[in-house]
Structure 1
Amino acid sequence: MTSAETRRRSAPAWLRPAVAVLGLLYLALGIAGFLTPETAAVGHETSRAVWIFSTTPLLNIVHVAVGVLGLLAATRRTGSILYCWVLFVGFAGMTSYGILATAFGNPEDPVNLNWADNWLHGLTAVAGLVLGVVAARAAARAAAR
């Protein structure tokens, strides 16, 4: 097997579309957060809601950035694998922060996460971990051939 064939088979075929879907989800959530009238008119003083998720300008920027990076990462398989690991590490940290922030409730918190955000970020971290592990195993199997 040539190195070009190994590179083509280094990740599962479904990884790039899965990363694109995650990117679109976060991009839509971030844009929807910016389009809520309360968030667009007010600074970061209060938290508003899009569906069941809290929105603040800082959280919207994070969601839009994660979405754009996901769409960019979906263009290459190695970028998709790296994006999965970054999702895992970043959102595991955001989930930990969110649990502590929600449990101790500080009104001055600029991110102002709620429990729905914690679940979303936690599930995203788990999805990033699962996708990253499956893709890494597929890449190792392709390299062993």
Structure 2
Amino acid sequence: METMMVSDAIKDPAAVVGPHRQNRIQVSTNKKPLYFYVNLAKRYMQYHNEIELSALGMAIGTVVTVAEILKNNGLATEKKILTSTIGTKDEANGRLVRKAKIEIFLGKTENFNDLMTVAKAERNGNGNAAKGKADGDASFSGHVSKKPE
């Protein structure tokens, strides 16, 4: 990452953040709930092999939680984590405020598409049929009979 003078950051805050990327999700603590970002990340991952989650200040905990949910559900693998401190201009008093920044790069797992197919089928009420399909059982009909005791 290129080094930038604090005075340049105040003149052009967009230069600190960098150019807008199609696979970047900027997480905020006060705009959307946690699972909004989890579901948005899943959707981005359907179109991109790698996504970037980024946050400033108090939103860092949210971005870490989103990444951990995706990893624990087997949807993503951690590629890279970058941390830094940036200077932003406080609109209220015009002073420079230093904020922590995190960028987490996640990649799709090999079975991402299978897991998304199963999740979609479960939402549509076909949970058993989808599980049989994901497990490779083409003969599974979704009907389970119980043996008399």
With the length of structure 2 as denominator, give the TM-score of the two structures.
Answer: 0.25
Which structure dedicates a bigger proportion of its chain to helix? 1
Q: Which has the higher contact order (CA 8 A, sep 6+)?
A: 1
Q: Which has the higher strand share?
A: 2
